[in-house]
Every structure is written in structure tokens, then in C-alpha cells.
Amino acid sequence: MIGNIVSGLYGGGAAAPVTFLTDYLVVAGGGGGSSTNGNNSEGGGGGGAGGLRSTVTATGGGGSLESKITLTVGISYTLTVGAGGSGGTANTTGTGTASGSDSSISGSGITTITSVGGGRAGTAGSVAGATGGSGGGGNQDTGAGGAGTTNQGYAGSAAINGVGTVYKGGGGGGAGAAGSSPSYGTAAGTGGNGGVGVAVAITGSSVYYAGGGGGNAWTNMTAGTGGNGGGGAGTNAASTGVGQNGTANTGGGGGGSGNSASITGAKGGNGGSGVLILKYPDTRTITIGSGLTGSTAAASGGYKVSTITAGTGSVTFA
């Protein structure tokens, strides 16, 4: 009787689809850090980290772990790894800062999983950081921090005008915590630190992803640090004037920069690219399409782990 039911469901004795449960980590690209407008202006914000969604260890924004997805042998699934956003250049408008791009998994039979790109830092003047997976830090003296996305990341912090024209940029939000606020002072104080990322052990080792970028500080003051998880540190006008880039394949936000009459080429750091990791039974074999860059580790403990580091394309399983 059971055999007859299965035969009827799958057409003249055709075999039932072969399915299997898969863990994932999906991290979007981080947002770019900003650089302020005009000469002797400081306070560029740090970029927000890319949104982080995970079924293993912890997920972003303090949310509950995501549920594993059920994949089917022979079905094509589309994967996209988001690029990091560009850091802004210092000029009369302080333009060029960009948010990171989304990372995603989609295909027949599953609900699309999207992690949102990190918010760019605030741009020229007292401009707020953008909303993203994690929010970007505010720019110059009173720019607000951008909001994060629920269950993916936290907000960036606002910039401040410490005393007079001593500007300090806000820290970008991370997947594990909000960006910290800058501190006041004319002879001391710091730019905002980037929010910490989240440690995930999907590969077998605990690795931090999606840290926020640090904010810029006034000349000779302490710039904000990047959040653990690939966030780029900010800079001050006494150093290079270039914020640190977020680390590739972490989704870290870029560090903030300022502008100075003595420095040319001041620029906020670029956000780090995202990453997509799948963990599935070692009885299955993945084929990674030509549009993707990725690799698969040797089977261990009954599982294989495939890491996709760039591109958009399809994967299938046998």
C-alpha cells in the first residue's frame, strides 16, 4: 500500500526527491567609512558591518539562531556574496561613501535568505549614517548613527563636537554590538569604536565576523578601533588620513577618516566583502558554478563545509 502511494506521488514509480538539512552562515558586505568635507575638518564615521544570519553558534543582532534549510539533490540554488561599500573621499562635498551589498541564498523549495549590506557612514556635514545590516556611524559633529536590521546587526553611534570644532566620528555598528560613542575633549578623547562582531564556529573553529568600522578623531587624538570581526580602524589627521579597510570575507565596516590641510588623498576605508558558508552531510557532493569563487574542506565529523568568497552563481548537490 505504501509503495503504491509513493508511486502515485512521484509518477509511475519515480524515486522520491533526496533532501538533506544544511547549516549556513550568510554575511553581507560591510559599509564604507566616510571622510569629511573641507580643510581641517575631522569626524568621519565608521561603516556598519554587513548583516549576519547563522544557524550555528550565534546569529546577528542578538536574535535567536536561524533554522537549518532543507536542500534537494539535483536542484540549482543561487548564491550571492555581497561586496563591501567604497570609502568616501575628502573634498568639498565629502562624497563617495557607499553601503555594502546584500548576500543571499535562494532557490526552489526554500525561503530566500538575505543578509543586508552594512550601512555607509554619514557623509558631508552632520549627516547620519545609513541603515543597513548594521548601521553606519554618524559624520562630523552631530550626525546620528544609522539603525541596524533586526536579527542581523546593531546601530552605529552618533558623531560629536567635543569642544569648539573638535569633531569625532561615530563608530559603525557590528553584528554583536552597537558602535560606541566618541568621547569628549580637546586634548584627549577618541573617535567611536566599531561594534564587535559575532563569533561563529560553522567551520569547526570559532571565527568573528561582521565588526563595525572605527570613527575618525581630531589631530593627535585617538581614532576609533575596528570591531572584532574585520572592522577597519579609523584614523586621525596626524597619520595617513586614510581609514583602514574592513577585512575581506568578514563583512567588516571601513574605518572613518578626516581631512587636513597637510594631507592629500584623505579617504574613508572600504567595507570588507561578505562570505557565505554551508555545512552539510558528507554523503553529499557540491558543484560550485562558474560565477562563484569557493572551496570545500575535507569531510570531518560526518560533514563537509563549503565556503563561497565572491560572486553570484549557482550550486547543485549530488
Q: Which residue matches cell numbers 578623531?
A: 217
Q: Is 260 left (phi over 0), alpha (psi -120 to 50) or beta?
A: beta
Grid coordinates in use for 170?
561615530
Cβ burial of 286 (10 Å; 0-12, 13-18, 19+) is middle
Residues 91, 262: Cα–Cα separation, whole Å? 14
pLDDT digits (tens, 9 = 90+) for 159-209: 988 766 678 899 999 999 999 999 876 667 789 999 999 999 999 999 999
Residues 38, 27: Cα–Cα separation, whole Å? 35
Residues 30, 82: Cα–Cα separation, whole Å? 8
**Model confidence at 141: pLDDT above 80:** no
Residues 125, 128: Cα–Cα separation, whole Å? 9
Residues 136, 48: Cα–Cα separation, whole Å? 4
Residues 85, 61: Cα–Cα separation, whole Å? 20
Residue 189 DSSP class: -
Residue 302's pLDDT band, with cuts at 50, 70 and 90, is very high
Residues 216, 234: Cα–Cα separation, whole Å? 5
pLDDT digits (tens, 9 = 90+) for 107-121: 999 999 999 999 999
Residue 95's pLDDT band, with cuts at 50, 70 and 90, is low
Query: What pTM value is reported for the model?
Result: 0.93
pLDDT digits (tens, 9 = 90+) for 31-42: 999 987 655 567
